[in-house]
Structure 1
Amino acid sequence: MLLASVLGVLMGMVMGLTGAGGGILGVPALVLGLGLSMTQAAPVSLLAVGAAAAVGAIDGLRHGLVRYRAALLIALLGALFSPLGVFVAHQMPEALLKGLFSALMVLVAWRMLQREKLQAGPSDHGAASWGQKNCMLNQQTGRLAWTAKCTATLATLGAITGAVSGLLGVGGGFLIVPAFKQLTDVQMRGIVATSLMVISLISLIGVVGAFHAGVRIDAVGWVFIAASIVGMLVGRRLCSVIAARTLQVGFASLCVVVAIGMLVNALH
């Protein structure tokens, strides 16, 4: 129980410090630290990530940063495809799942090490012109312009996020945040808040799908989940005193180390 508490707090702190992508550490903590299988770890990690993300999403809603229509569309498609991911995960060999997860962590590390472009301005309006992005904000209303292209783009993002979430037990923030940056002109604080809402919804759906497949969470799992929420709150407090680039490099390095650990574990 003590180890589950410590690992949960650490995962929550990393998630709070780095944003949505920190939740990818949940499955390795459960597999390498507590000895769970990938299929056992997935629902525990999803519930921990979802609960922690919900804390950030509620704060984003309070400040009017969440693009809630976009979040609901992505989550709806995620709901349809997440059970598919869970089903596929139960048909795959454990070693292959761990190998896929290791590859995913290396990809996340690479994305994290890419330097962010600074986007000035107090508003959440982007600076792109029409035609540059699949989804654009209306500069008068500040809301997304719901064209057919925009709707199809967000629906596709939701389907992919849901499938990966169900397959590997991750919230999907590492997909949603860079995709939103690439495909929309929403500013970063709006992207993160929207991503957290999507993650909380998709994670809950993924947990329901896992329960339906027969997976159950034991007492150690619940301790890990509760501890991760505490860690998230602590991490959000600390993120203002640590340089963003230091966090990016540290998190990316941790991802590579954990990916190697997962790969070694899979080979054994």
Structure 2
Amino acid sequence: MLLTAIALGAVVGMTLGLTGAGGGVLAVPALMLALGYSLADARPIALIAIGLAALLGCLDGLRRGIVRYRAAFWIAAAGIVCAPVGSALIQVLPARWSGLLFSLLMLCLAARTWRGARQAETGHAAGGCRIDPLTGRFRWTRHCASRLAAVGGAAGLLTGMFGVGGGFVIVPGLRRISDAGVHASVATSLMVIALVSGFSAATMLLGSVAVGATGWLFVVAALCGMLAGRVWQPHVPARPLQRVFAGVMGVSAVVLGVNVLAH
């Protein structure tokens, strides 16, 4: 059990370090399917692991000067406002329905990731937030601010509901509405995830949520995986990585859905 927790945590952290997204989506089913946690018990462990791992990745991005930190704070503010709404929504759903809903979310994300893998290399057309070539910063307009806030709100809602980091919303959102490069989008996403997940995890821990020794091993392994992922990220082709990630997420979604229905 302990070795399984370490291995799964390392994979989750590495995924987050490589892609800036998806770590939380894989963390929750890993905890549920391999370690026997319920969705309610898996959420805080996943949030702690993802939040701390994202913080490490964010510090690396800040060191390299590629984090759009003003945008990150703005997106995170919207996410922090919406995260409690997600937590309230998931608590009124029966456990079986919440598990099936999460499985469906994973399937949709897997399909979208598979279709959008080509865009990981070609990029998106900027739509609303453009970088000023003189300052190297976003030109802040009302349209830009509102679109960034919408991305943060969606990520925060899903973070509160399922204990995911929301990077699968933030990275493609930034790529779609801005001309930030893929590495800057990933690093900015990690900063947002660290802020929103950290807030949500702290709220849960203040509510006397227990993590346990196995959970903390998972967290530590995720931190180590994040460090490895950030080292390898510049050298890993984006398109094959996203294809593999989409496949793993799709299979995990099916297995999780079947497991929920069986119980």
TM-score of the pair, normalised by structure 2: 0.91
Going from structure 1 to structure 2, the CA distance change for 1:168 and 1:152 (only over 3 Å counts) comes to: same
Tell me how far 1:214 sits from its aligned partner: 4.4
Tell me how far 1:139 sits from its aligned partner: 2.2
2:23–2:165 Cα contact (<8 Å) kept: no
User: For 2:211, which of 198, 217, 239 is the aligned residue?
Assistant: 217
Tell me how far 1:59 sits from its aligned partner: 1.0
The amino acid that maps onto 1:20 is: A
Higher helix share: 2
User: Is residue 2:88 matched to residue 1:87?
Assistant: yes
The amino acid that maps onto 1:184 is: S
1:87–1:213 Cα contact (<8 Å) kept: no
Going from structure 1 to structure 2, the CA distance change for 1:118 and 1:260 (only over 3 Å counts) comes to: closer
Tell me how far 1:22 sits from its aligned partner: 3.1
| Structure 1 residue runs without a partner (length 5+) | 121-125
For 1:77 and 1:15, how far apart are their aligned partners in 2?
A: 21
1:39–1:89 Cα contact (<8 Å) kept: no
Tell me how far 1:32 sits from its aligned partner: 0.6
For 2:24 and 2:89, how far apart are their aligned partners in 1?
A: 21
Going from structure 1 to structure 2, the CA distance change for 1:135 and 1:243 (only over 3 Å counts) comes to: closer
For 1:241 and 1:253, how far apart are their aligned partners in 2?
A: 21
The amino acid that maps onto 2:148 is: L
Tell me how far 1:2 sits from its aligned partner: 2.4
For 1:75 and 1:240, how far apart are their aligned partners in 2?
A: 25
Q: Match of 1:34, SS?
A: coil
Query: Hey, what does 1:40 align to over in structure 2?
Result: 41
Query: Hey, what does 2:261 align to over in structure 1?
Result: 267
User: Is residue 2:247 matched to residue 1:246?
Assistant: no
User: For 1:198, which of 176, 192, 199 is the aligned residue?
Assistant: 192
User: For 1:141, which of 130, 135, 144 is the aligned residue?
Assistant: 135
User: Is residue 2:188 matched to residue 1:185?
Assistant: no
For 2:76 and 2:69, how far apart are their aligned partners in 1?
A: 10
User: Is residue 2:119 matched to residue 1:116?
Assistant: yes
Going from structure 1 to structure 2, the CA distance change for 1:156 and 1:229 (only over 3 Å counts) comes to: same
For 2:230 and 2:188, how far apart are their aligned partners in 1?
A: 17
Query: Hey, what does 1:4 align to over in structure 2?
Result: 5
| Structure 2 residue runs without a partner (length 5+) | none
Going from structure 1 to structure 2, the CA distance change for 1:195 and 1:87 (only over 3 Å counts) comes to: same
User: Is residue 2:144 matched to residue 1:150?
Assistant: yes
For 1:210 and 1:265, how far apart are their aligned partners in 2?
A: 26
1:83–1:209 Cα contact (<8 Å) kept: no
TM-score of the pair, normalised by structure 1: 0.89
User: For 1:256, which of 246, 250, 255 is the aligned residue?
Assistant: 250
For 1:252 and 1:86, how far apart are their aligned partners in 2?
A: 26
2:20–2:189 Cα contact (<8 Å) kept: no
1:57–1:193 Cα contact (<8 Å) kept: yes
2:24–2:163 Cα contact (<8 Å) kept: no
Query: Hey, what does 1:16 align to over in structure 2?
Result: 17
The amino acid that maps onto 2:222 is: S
Aligned residues: 259
With 206-215 and 143-152 compared, the bigger mean Cα shift is at 206-215
Tell me how far 1:240 sits from its aligned partner: 5.3
Q: Match of 2:131, SS?
A: coil
- Percent identity of equivalent pairs: 43
User: Is residue 2:47 matched to residue 1:53?
Assistant: no
Query: Hey, what does 1:105 align to over in structure 2?
Result: 106
Q: Match of 2:158, SS?
A: helix
Tell me how far 1:205 sits from its aligned partner: 1.0
For 1:149 and 1:13, how far apart are their aligned partners in 2?
A: 34
Going from structure 1 to structure 2, the CA distance change for 1:17 and 1:188 (only over 3 Å counts) comes to: closer
Q: Match of 1:139, SS?
A: coil
